């Protein structure tokens, strides 16, 4: 990688960090207001619903990202969405503030940060579980109980089926990362085989 590419990567990382800091300020203000109003559970539900809408609606995603749609039209659209979804007034005002300040494009980041921050404030932790096959109710309960015991926190599981893993499971919870997928094991074996091939070739050259 040349110096120019390194500088570009550094700039991109810096921009992403700045965006996250801005997003966190908005989220903190929202959650502090929710705490004062004793509406944290309502806001958590609203953020979950917004996250689901963003994933399921290309139109919603296009709306918040579009550089062509005017700020006024975006604000009118999100106001209609908030009303139709019966979002809490605090959440609706939050969306309007984002629209007014041209920050709607950061909504997906803010939703994720908001839910993570709510979990942290309430002593919970969301674990991302990627598995090649659907887990049974018994397996899900055992996994949740094991993580709760090991991490000392209430655990919420976000389970995603990923057939590309071929088998096994990948767990991400806070700083914990466990990759027991078949895909990773195969990759590890491939690296070992390449190393062995290189070493064998060097030995033959010496001989």
Contact 126, 158 (CB under 8 A): yes
| Residue 158 banded pLDDT, cuts 50, 70, 90 | confident
Say if residue 155's pLDDT is above 80. yes
Residue 193's contacts (CB-CB under 8 Å, 6 or more residues apart) are: none
Q: What is the pLDDT of residues 88-135, one digit of tens each?
A: 999 999 999 999 999 999 999 999 999 989 988 888 888 889 998 888
Q: What is the pLDDT of residues 136-147, one digit of tens each?
A: 999 999 999 988
* Distance separating alpha carbons of residues 100 and 83, to the nearest angstrom: 18
Helix (H, G, I), strand (E, B) or coil at 159: strand
Domains of the chain, each with CATH number or no CATH: 3-120 (1.10.520.20), 123-206 (3.40.30)
Report the pLDDT averaged over residues 184-203: 70
The two tokens of residue 70 are 């005017």
Looking at the whole model, is its pTM more than 0.85? no
């Amino acid at each position: 990688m040349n110096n120019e590419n390194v500088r570009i990567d550094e700039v991109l990382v810096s921009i992403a960090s700045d965006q996250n800091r801005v997003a966190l300020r908005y989220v903190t203000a929202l959650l502090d207001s929710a705490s004062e109003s004793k509406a944290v559970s309502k806001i958590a539900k609203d953020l979950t619903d917004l996250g689901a809408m963003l994933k399921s609606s290309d139109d919603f995603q296009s709306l918040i990202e579009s550089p062509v749609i005017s700020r006024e039209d975006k604000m009118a659209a999100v106001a209609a969405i908030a009303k139709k979804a019966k979002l809490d007034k605090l959440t609706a005002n939050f969306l309007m503030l984002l629209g007014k300040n041209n920050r709607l494009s950061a909504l997906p980041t803010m939703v994720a940060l908001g839910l993570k921050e709510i979990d942290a404030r309430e002593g919970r932790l969301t674990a991302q579980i990627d598995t090649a096959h659907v887990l049974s109710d018994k397996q899900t309960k055992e996994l949740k109980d094991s993580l709760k015991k090991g991490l000392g926190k209430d655990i919420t599981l976000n389970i995603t089926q990923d057939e590309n893993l071929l088998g096994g499971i990948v767990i991400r919870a806070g700083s914990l990362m466990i990759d027991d997928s078949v895909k990773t094991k195969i990759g590890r074996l491939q690296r070992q085989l390449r190393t062995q091939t290189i070493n064998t070739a060097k030995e033959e050259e010496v001989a």
